[in-house]
């Protein structure tokens, strides 16, 4: 029999109706052995995710506010689900324990992680599955990075004990015994880790859309779904902001050769998107697989006559970035110019000043400036390598929409074209590119 690991996101476990739907999906296929659960997400667009409420509690405690009333809303959400499901399960002791632990100097990650912990307790009870606490099977190292080896061994041993189990997503444990979470959306990563440890045939990632779409549905009206996508394409798209799957969720399953199937909890009959290592055939009618992007980049523009003839020029720039712990995204260059694209968020004014001063000192440029307000867009497609004129089509579509291109970079794999535009042009640019390739 096949082995499937299934992960359900926050919107799939936001209320009792969704719990019922999730249970019917799991019970419909006995291959669905291990279930990774998120914290309750939004029930309607103005709703607040439980994870965000827990972060808020933590902040309130830090500023010495009383959380009793606010925490009651969290209690109500969990108790509401239990009551609505008609479950005979008393979670009040757990809820009180969490409140106490939060108020007595537990960390921010501990607070956030309790969203998945409590939801998974309820789901395990409802399904009649075992509960495996992630703090016993997901390990981080002292430096905060994920400890893949230790996790793999412990997770394998634990999974062997149970035929069916629920594991909370998002968190694990540090060597000193404190709880640590992955970054936001990290339950996808837990699902991938469990799938690899279980040696699964398939990792099903259940969410609120029928698969990966060619563009963000919040920007493009009803974009087409992608039937099949390779890990590499997906990595490019999710790194650039396509939010369906956490960008790190690909690694554990890719190493084990396990495909991911993105599915819709609210439309389980839809096939969704298959994420695979390679596809035997190209989607003949589509040159691009998808387009995604992110705002919030800055460009450091450096000009110096005869820069190209100066041995070690780029290395000196990279040294400066390294000294200031700034990671870069792209370095497009001309004969006498070089641009470095960096995320804006870690750069406050003081850090910018220091960077500029250090670049000036090390490279004696004719000019160096930092400009904010750049959005980066990745146009990704495994078929681009065979199709001529793709870049021209991208640029024409943007020109016709009156959008100025601030930067262009093409990956050596010819899997993607990266374009920088003004943040204010971002949505229009995504739409223009999408329409060019889909019509
Ligand atoms: P979950 O709570 O199940 O983990 P997420 O909110 O993390 O779900 O991811 C699903 C959401 O990702 C969708 O509701 C959609 O708004 C957003 N999204 C962004 N880009 C895309 C895309 N290219 N295709 C589909 N959904 C996308
Ligand atoms: N609940 C966490 C978050 O909101 C993790 C997740 O949903 O994957 O980021
Ligand atoms: Mg998610």
Centre of ligand 2 to C-alpha 180, Å, is 13
Show Cβ contacts of residue 139 under 8 Å, excluding neighbours closer than 6 positions: 146, 147, 150, 151, 154, 172, 173, 175
Residue 272: both structure tokens together: 């969704």
Task: Tell which one of 209, 229, 264 to mutate to probe ligand 1, the residue whose CB is within 8 A of the most ligand atoms.
Answer: 209
Centre of ligand 2 to C-alpha 169, Å, is 8
Ligand nearest to the backbone CA of 219: 1
Residue 29: both structure tokens together: 């296929």
Q: Whose CA is nearest to atom 7 of ligand 2?
A: 185
Residue 226: both structure tokens together: 């992608």
Ligand nearest to the backbone CA of 209: 1
Centre of ligand 1 to C-alpha 6, Å, is 17
- For the entire predicted model, the pTM comes to 0.87
With a 6 A CB cut-off, is 187 part of the ligand 2 pocket?
A: yes
Phi, psi (rounded to 5 degrees) for 10: -60, -40
Centre of ligand 3 to C-alpha 54, Å, is 17
pLDDT at 129: 98
Question: In 143-177, which positions are buried (b, 16+ CB within 10 angstroms) versus exposed (e)?
Answer: eeebbeebbbebbeebbeeeeebbbbbbbbbbeee
pLDDT at 284: 52
With a 6 A CB cut-off, is 218 part of the ligand 1 pocket?
A: yes
3-class DSSP assignment, residue 215: coil
pLDDT tens for the chain, 439 residues long, are: 899 999 999 999 999 999 999 999 999 999 999 999 999 999 999 999 999 999 999 999 999 999 999 999 999 999 999 999 999 999 999 999 999 999 987 899 999 999 999 999 999 999 999 999 999 999 999 999 999 999 999 999 999 999 999 999 999 999 999 999 999 999 999 999 999 999 999 999 999 999 999 999 999 999 999 999 999 999 889 888 888 999 899 999 998 999 999 999 999 999 999 999 887 655 556 789 999 999 999 999 999 998 888 899 999 999 999 999 999 988 888 888 999 999 999 999 999 999 999 999 999 999 999 999 999 999 999 888 888 888 999 999 999 999 999 988 887 777 899 999 999 999 999 999 999 998 5
Question: In 184-202, which positions are buried (b, 16+ CB within 10 angstroms) versus exposed (e)?
Answer: ebbbbbbbbbbbbbbebeb
Identify the structural domains of the chain with CATH numbers, from first to last: 4-208 (3.40.1160.10), 290-438 (3.30.2130.10)
Q: Which atom of ligand 2 is nearest to the CA of 52?
A: 4
Separation of alpha carbons 271 and 260, rounded Å: 12
Centre of ligand 1 to C-alpha 241, Å, is 10
pLDDT at 281: 57
Crossing angle of the two packed helices 68-85 and 16-27, in degrees rounded to 10? 50
Ligand nearest to the backbone CA of 119: 2
Separation of alpha carbons 111 and 55, rounded Å: 7
Q: Whose CA is nearest to atom 4 of ligand 1?
A: 9
Q: Which atom of ligand 2 is nearest to the CA of 187?
A: 8
Check if the beta carbon of residue 252 is closer than 8 Å to that of residue 195.
yes
With a 6 A CB cut-off, is 265 part of the ligand 2 pocket?
A: no
Centre of ligand 3 to C-alpha 290, Å, is 19
Residue 149: both structure tokens together: 């080896």
Centre of ligand 1 to C-alpha 371, Å, is 30
Class of residue 305 by CB neighbours under 10 A (exposed 0-12, middle 13-18, buried 19+): exposed
């Amino acid at each position: 029999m096949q082995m499937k690991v299934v992960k359900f996101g926050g919107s799939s476990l936001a209320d009792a109706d969704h719990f019922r739907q999730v249970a019917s999906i799991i019970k419909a296929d006995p291959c669905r052995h291990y279930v990774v659960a998120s914290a309750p997400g939004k029930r309607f667009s103005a709703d607040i995710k439980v994870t965000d409420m827990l972060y808020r509690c933590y902040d309130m405690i830090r500023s010495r506010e009383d959380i009793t009333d606010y925490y009651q809303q969290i209690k109500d959400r969990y108790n509401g689900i239990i009551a609505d499901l008609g479950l005979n399960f008393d979670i009040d002791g757990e809820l009180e324990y969490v409140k106490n632990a939060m108020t007595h100097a537990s960390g921010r990650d501990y607070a956030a992680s309790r969203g998945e912990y409590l939801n998974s307790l309820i789901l395990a009870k409802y399904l009649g599955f075992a509960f495996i606490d992630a703090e016993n099977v997901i390990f981080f190292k002292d430096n905060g990075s994920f400890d893949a080896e230790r996790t793999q061994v412990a997770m394998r041993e634990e999974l062997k004990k149970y035929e069916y189990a629920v594991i909370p997503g998002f968190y694990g444990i540090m060597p000193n015994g404190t709880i640590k979470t992955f970054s936001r959306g990290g339950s996808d990563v837990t699902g991938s880790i469990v799938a690899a440890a279980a040696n699964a045939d398939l990792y099903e990632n259940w969410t609120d859309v029928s698969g990966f779409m060619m563009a963000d549905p919040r920007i493009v009206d009803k974009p087409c779904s992608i039937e099949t996508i390779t890990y590499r394409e997906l990595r490019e798209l999710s790194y650039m902001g396509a939010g369906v799957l956490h960008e790190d969720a690909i690694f554990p399953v890719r190493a084990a050769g396990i495909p991911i199937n993105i599915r819709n909890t609210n439309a389980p009959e839809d096939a969704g998107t298959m994420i695979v290592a390679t596809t035997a055939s190209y989607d003949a009618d589509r040159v691009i697989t998808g387009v995604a992007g992110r705002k919030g980049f800055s460009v450091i523009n450096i000009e110096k006559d005869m820069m190209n003839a100066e041995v070690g020029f780029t290395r000196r720039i990279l040294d400066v970035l390294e000294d200031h712990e700034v990671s870069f995204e792209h370095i497009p260059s001309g004969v006498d110019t070089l641009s470095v694209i960096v995320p804006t968020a870690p750069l406050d004014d003081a850090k910018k000043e220091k960077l500029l001063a250090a670049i000036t000192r090390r490279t004696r440029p004719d000019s160096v400036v930092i400009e904010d307000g750049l959005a980066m867009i990745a146009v990704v497609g495994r078929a681009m390598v065979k199709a001529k004129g793709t870049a021209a089509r991208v640029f024409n579509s943007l020109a016709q929409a009156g959008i100025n291109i601030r930067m262009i970079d093409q990956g050596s794999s010819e899997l993607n074209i990266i374009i920088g535009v003004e943040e204010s042009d971002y949505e229009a640019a995504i739409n223009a590119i999408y329409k060019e390739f889909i019509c």
